[in-house]
Amino acid sequence: MDIIFLRALKIETVIGIFDWEREIKQTVVLDLEMATDIRKAATTDSIDDTLNYKAVAKRLIDFVSHSEFGLVETLAERITEIILTEFSVPWVRLQLNKQGAVSGAQDVGVIIERGRKPEDGTHIR
C-alpha cells in the first residue's frame, strides 16, 4: 500500500455551536493520508493513473468553504465520505484541526480513519 498525503490544507468555513461562531468564518486545517497504489502511475508517468491530490484539495476546499456545520466531528465525517466515494480511496486518515478553539491550546480537533487499509505486502511510503 502506498499513501498520498496532503498536509496543512487551510480552509475558511463557518464551524461551531456558539451564536458568535455562526456569524464568522474560522480556519480549519486538514492533514490527510489516503491509501492508493502508485505503481501504475510510476510506470506510465500519467496523472490519469494516480490519485490526483490537486483534485482532492480543490473538491475539499469547495465543500468545506461552503459548509456550515456545528461540530468538527460532522465535518470530518463528511470530508472522509467525499474522499472514499468520489475518489475511490479504500482508506483515509484525516486530522481536522480547529486552531484556537480552546483558550491556552494551540491545536484542537479530531483524528479519524475510515475505510480499510489494503494489506498487499507493499510497504507504506
Say which of 10, 54, 58, 98 is annotated catalytic. 98
Mean pLDDT, rounded, for 53-80: 98
Mean pLDDT, rounded, for 52-69: 98
pLDDT of amino acid 120: 58
- What is the layout of strands, in order, in the sheet containing 26-36? 68-69, 2-15, 26-36, 91-97, 109-115
pLDDT of amino acid 62: 98
> Using CA atoms, how far apart are residues 111 and 120, in angstroms rounded to an integer?
25
Let me know: does 57 contact 6? Beta carbons within 8 Å.
Answer: yes
For residue 76, pLDDT over 80 is answered with yes
Q: In order of start, what are the domains of the chain with their CATH numbers?
A: 2-115 (3.30.1130.10)
Mean pLDDT, rounded, for 62-71: 97
Q: Active site includes 40? A: no
pTM: 0.90
Segment 85-115, tens digit of pLDDT? 999 999 999 999 998 888 888 889 999 999 9
pLDDT of amino acid 122: 46
Helix segments in the chain, DSSP class H: 39-44, 53-65, 72-86
Look at 8 and 122; give whichever has higher pLDDT: 8
